[in-house]
Structure 1
Amino acid sequence: MKRFLLIALSCMAFSAQAKPKKEKWIQLFNGKNLTNWTVKIHHHEVGDNFGNTFRAEDGMIKVRYDQYDQFNERYGHLYFNKPFSHYKLRLQYRFTGVWRKDAPDYTEKNSGVMFHSQDPNTMPKEQDWPISVEMQFLGILADGKPRPTGNMCSPGTDVVFQGKIDPRHCINSTSKTFENEQWITAELIVRGDSLVTHMINGETVLEYTQPQIGGGVANRYIPALKIDGKLLKSGFIALQSEGQEIDFRHIELLDLSKE
């Protein structure tokens, strides 16, 4: 009887240890307004949400251009107000049918989420892109050609891909091409200045390491901030607007800093 009791207690202890911890996801978007978010749009001061570009409606963050007279390279970013280092970011996005034809051609069905970004308050009015790394989102174009999503782009940064710093501004993922107007789940796993993983609809599509300051594309930044070769251990997260209307929802983050 004593032996049976010991076995039962051991099983109970093992079961308690094996029970997974409940994940505590932080909701970055409250579904109602842009509280805790800051806008920075090219040609405008920090906090100026020109043309109501970013708006909270119907439980989504929408990027819209219906109040624009012209696009005028008004590349925009909506920043969550707290920086993060080790985390898993999860969100859903969908492209709508409206694209500003006075925006550059490459912006059609193109958007993304920036991470390890500089603080928007350190960006001059005329800085176009933040020094950051981007998980790029792409939708299919009229020609129907393959166009993967969940890619990596690097304004003012570099990454190590397949063992060496890759000189390309953007590195394509292995994802399939998705039709527009459908919700896509994007997940980004960031572990400080080491491993970064991109996932689309639950599948790993790209991995790289050592995000760091370097490269080009970002312009008119404060020179003292661009220290090429400096590893990026943390930074801000921002949703992008660059001429294509897009919706974002279910934006949440799991803090991995204590793992």
Structure 2
Amino acid sequence: MQVIKQLLYVLTLILFITFVGCQKPNKEDAEWIQLFNGQDLDNWIAKIHHYETGDNFDSTFRVKDDMIQVRYDNYGELNDRFGHLFYKTPFSKYHLKLEYRFVGTPQPGTPEWAHFNSGVMFHAQDPASILKEQDWPIAVEMQFLCSLGDGNPRPTGNMCSPGTDIHYRDSLYKDHCLYSTSKTYPPGEWVKAELIVYGDSLITHVINDDTVLQYTKPTMGGGVVSGYDPKVFVEGKPLTSGYIGLQSEGQPIDFRNIYLKELK
């Protein structure tokens, strides 16, 4: 009988410890900030080419079914109305994670290079400083692509550099975009993207848990951007922090599960 009581005591203790362990919040998870609440665009700022900052023309960015959707219902021709949806707070050292999927077909007038093309901008200038007729924000982009259905590889998680430069393998990288080593994913498939940023030091792109690209030393430079306020652009200035923005390039796309953890 005494042995049975001891066994029951041990079993009860194990169950109690297991229960407490399940109830205790994970310290790492508690550090993640939910940037998108799944309900509205509070804390987000739209900037669309040809419109003032804060004008979310035609509800280009909208919320449905716990997703941020990019749509062009009443656009007609795209007319270079490329847009971005910026989170209200700048960050410097952080781990960003989100999921995206391409849907639908490109809006009429979307240039061929923008078909099934989007991304997330980071280290971007303050959206309040982007002029009405400025075509792109000064930023670094983690570019998202998917298959065009032609059988050719089309990696995602690439780097593009509107108004910026980066160093790759210890040398200044002079082209506008740098392809990653990721797989090619079809339209309609959810893809998990992660961006790990240490100021103007190391930047890492991760796609579906695979590290696909790393580079360093983002600075202002490189051309591509036009129509900006010259007081904002300082050639060679290190980009140690900035705003995060989801991209609209004429292709419908969905974003969800957007979280950020600040790093030391």
Q: TM-score, normalised by structure 1?
A: 0.90
CA distance in 2, matches of 1:53, 1:203: 31
- Which of these residues, 216, 222, 227, is aligned with residue 215 of structure 1? 222
1:170-249 matches, within 5 Å, as 170-249=177-256
Aligned residue-pair number: 238
Shift, 1:69, TM fit: 2.2
Taking the TM superposition and a 5 Å limit, the aligned residue runs for 1:164-175 are 164-175=171-182
After superposition, residues 23-102 of structure 1 pair within 5 angstroms as: 23=29, 24-102=31-109
Is 1:22 the counterpart of 2:28? The answer is yes
**Deviation larger for 136-145 or 187-196:** 136-145
Would the aligned equivalents of 1:52 and 1:67 in 2 still touch at CA under 8 Å?
no
**Residues in 1 aligned to 2:127 and 2:79: alpha-carbon distance in whole angstroms:** 20
| CA distance in 2: counterparts of 1:168 and 1:90, whole angstroms | 26
113, 117, 123: which one pairs with 1:116?
123
Kindly tell me: are residues 35 and 219 of structure 1, through their superposed partners in 2, closer, same or farther at Cα, counting changes over 3 Å? Answer: same
C-alpha distance in 2, partners of 1:228/1:204? 30
Equivalent position amino acid for 2:38 in 1: G
2:23 alignment partner in structure 1: none
Q: Which residue of 2 aligns with 1:150?
A: 157
Compute the RMSD of aligned alpha carbons.
0.9
Normalising by structure 2, what TM-score? 0.89
Does 1:161 pair with 2:174?
no
- State which structure, 1 or 2, has the greater radius of gyration over its C-alpha atoms: 2
Amino acid at match of 2:28: K
Q: CA shift at 1:21, angstroms?
A: 4.3
Matched position secondary structure for 2:128: helix
2:12 — aligned with what? none
Give the whole-Å Cα distance in 2 for the aligned partners of 1:47 and 1:196. Answer: 29
Per-residue deviation, 1:51 = 1.2
In 1, distance between residues paired with 2:172 and 2:107?
34
| Residues in 1 aligned to 2:57 and 2:45: alpha-carbon distance in whole angstroms | 12
| Residues 40-89 of structure 1 deviation map (CA, whole Å, 9 limit, x = unaligned) | 00000011111110001110000001121221100000000000000000
1:133 equivalent to 2:140? Answer: yes
In structure 2, C-alpha distance between the alignment counterparts of 1:208 and 1:22, rounded to whole Å? 26
Give the Cα separation in 2 of the matches to 1:113 and 1:141: 20
- 1:156 and 1:217 in contact (8 A); partners too: yes
Unaligned 5+ runs, structure 2: 1-25
Shift of residue 180 of structure 1? 1.1
Checking the alignment, whether the CA contact within 8 Å between 2:76 and 2:108 is kept in structure 1 is: no
Deviations 1:151-181 (A, max 9, x none): 0000000000011110010000000101110
- Name stretches of at least 5 consecutive residues in structure 1 with no aligned partner: 1-19
Q: Flag as ranges the 4+ runs of structure 1 deviating above 6 A.
A: none
Question: How far does the alpha carbon of each residue in 1:189-225 deviate from its partner, in whole angstroms, 9 at most, with x for none?
Answer: 0000100000000000000000110011111101121
SS state at 2:105 partner: strand
The code of the aligned residue for 1:115 comes to F
Native 8 Å contact 1:112 1:135 kept in 2: yes
Matched to 2:47, the amino acid is K
Q: Which amino acid aligns with 1:58?
A: D
Query: 2:35, 2:232 → 1: CA distance?
Result: 27
